[in-house]
Structure formats: structure tokens, C-alpha cells
Structure 1
């Protein structure tokens, strides 16, 4: 838990010093991932997967922290919107309500500041480059084949995700992988790579990692 706390502190410090477009992308991506996790965790007003609801809450809290780094005129309303989302999650609001409010927040920031929410690759992602980055930056935790059994995995709580688990990851797009790689995963030891890898490399490793779930 000390490692996780340190990584979250680093992420928060990075958010404070990041350019506005980078902060906007982080707020939007984190909130969008929260909405996805919440949709898995809540059905018909009932919690069916507590871990996903907890992860949605953590993502929203991280989005709120990041929103503090927005330009002065945008930060207070964004923080207020995320506070409302946290209350709705606590009240087990319908997933569509969460998704709609996240969409309004994200699109509103994008339009206000003229920012594209997701960085597009300048060229088609190269699997060979993705494999190279995966082995150098991801395999120590996720394992060479992605099964979550890398040499560092035993000391991590929670354990690294098993990227070979088709059932758990079948609905995840390469964009979802890209977002997690870019902003990290709150509540885990996975750090953000947006300042470590250029967008083209993040797309390459996202595409490669997304294929590890296939037979």
C-alpha cells in the first residue's frame, strides 16, 4: 500500500504541472473508465460486482484530483460535477445516468478548450514495437505472456491484471487499454505512462496487450 500511495502522489504531482490539454485528457479518460467499471458493477440498482464499483469510485476520485489542475475558470465546475458523480455512485444511480454525466463533462471540457480527448497515433501501431515495449515495461508485473505472474507480481496488492483472461477483458477495446496505459490504474501499482512513452508507443503496446487475451 505504501507503493500505491507513492505512485498516486506522483500522479497527482504530475497533474498539477501538466499542460491543460494533458489534464483535460486525464480527467476525461479517468471518468470514462469509471463509467465503464460502474456499468459492470451495478445492474438494476443492485451491486453485482463490488470490485468494479470500488474501482469506479477510485477512478472518479482520481479524476477529481486531476481536475484541480485544470485552468482556474474550469476547475471548480469540473470538481463539482465529479463530486455529483461520486454521490450518484454511492446512491447506486443507473449506469446510463453516470455515463451521460461523464460524457457531458468530457465533451464540455473538450469543446471549451479545443482539445481532442484521445491522442491519435501518427501512424498505424506496430505490433513489433508494442511487443518490445511490453517486455521492457510491462512483463515484470504482468508476465511474459500476460498472465499476471511476472517476477514483481508476488509483492503487489492487488495483483497485476491477467491480460490473458478473455472473459474479463472481452469487452475492452484497444482505446480502453490505451487510456489505462496513459493514466495508470488507481488503487494498483500500475503507474501512468503518458510522460514516459510517446502516444505512438502507448498505442503500440495497447494494441499488443489487447491481443494477449486471444487463444
Structure 2
């Protein structure tokens, strides 16, 4: 493995900012941490939003999941991705039961499995946003976590809401949206996401072709 792939962005999961049910902010904080501690790596990092039009996405190996497979259906989920080399892509998911981090192929295989066994309305789509852009553009006033009477569905993080702009205090829906050409970053289907970010090393590729 190359020196780039050996870089430990986050030495321990316990050193990362984490609040349950605020995955978009947890990932924003991971991006912020990289910018402060490993700025040269920031261009190789991404925030990845997973959702679909109906906002019903099944994920396995989640701490909040049920049964032996720890499956849960979220309206959306967000994880952090580090792509230091063309053949080494790492996923950092603070809500998974898998290791932190996990190599791309293992994470995708165990977390998303396949769309073939799912109804079309449950297919997953992935909005991939460069970390620098995510830090610069994301805003949330946390309105989606309040009940109609103003009380919290889940307690908010202890720090102030993330505000990239005084005029746009909440643009979370733009990041969750799975329509191509709308919102930041690029939207991929599951197969497109795998094809784009999973590259076998040459030696392994040659073995699969023999």
C-alpha cells in the first residue's frame, strides 16, 4: 500500500465529532478536521449523500439497524470518503458496525448490497460532493429535526448550527436531492458509483482476466 493510502486522517473514531441522527453535520465536521490537520488531503475527500426520490433507502450494517444484518431504512444517510489513490478508496461512516474506516468495496457490498433484489422505489442514489465545496456551501438550521411544536426530535449538537451564508441558512434539501443537474456535486446510481470509485490494482485486475 502506498504512503498516501496509509495516511490516518482520523486516528480514533472516538476523537471524531458525533451526534446521533445528524450525519450531515458529523461528516461536515470530519471535512473540517481534515482541513485543519491534513489540508493536503482535502482535495481527495468527499461528502456522500445517499437517498432517493421517495427518501426510503435500505442500508445494512448500521448501528441503528435491526436483526443480525443490522438493516435500517433511512430517509437519507451521509458518509465521508477519502480517495488517496486510484486504487485505494476508504469510507468513514460513524454509524456503521463495520470498521472505521472500511475499504470502499467491502463497505458498499455490505452496506448497500445490490439494487437487483430491491423494488425500484428503494434504489439508492449517491450525491458526491468535494469536501472543500461541502465546507463552503452547506448550511443547516436543523429545522428538519424539530417537531411542529418546536421541540427536538433528537437533541442537537452542542455547537452552533452550520451556516455558510447569512442569506441561505438551510439548504440541506439541495444536498439530499437525487436529481442530476440540480444541487452540488454529481449524482450517481449504485452501479455508477461503484464503477467510478472502485478501481482494482493492476496486478489484481490481471489475475481476474486470466
> Same fold judged by TM-score > 0.5?
no
Per the normalisation by structure 1, the TM-score is 0.25
Pick the structure with more strand per residue. Answer: 2
More helix per residue: 1 or 2? 1
Give TM-score scaled by structure 2 length: 0.26
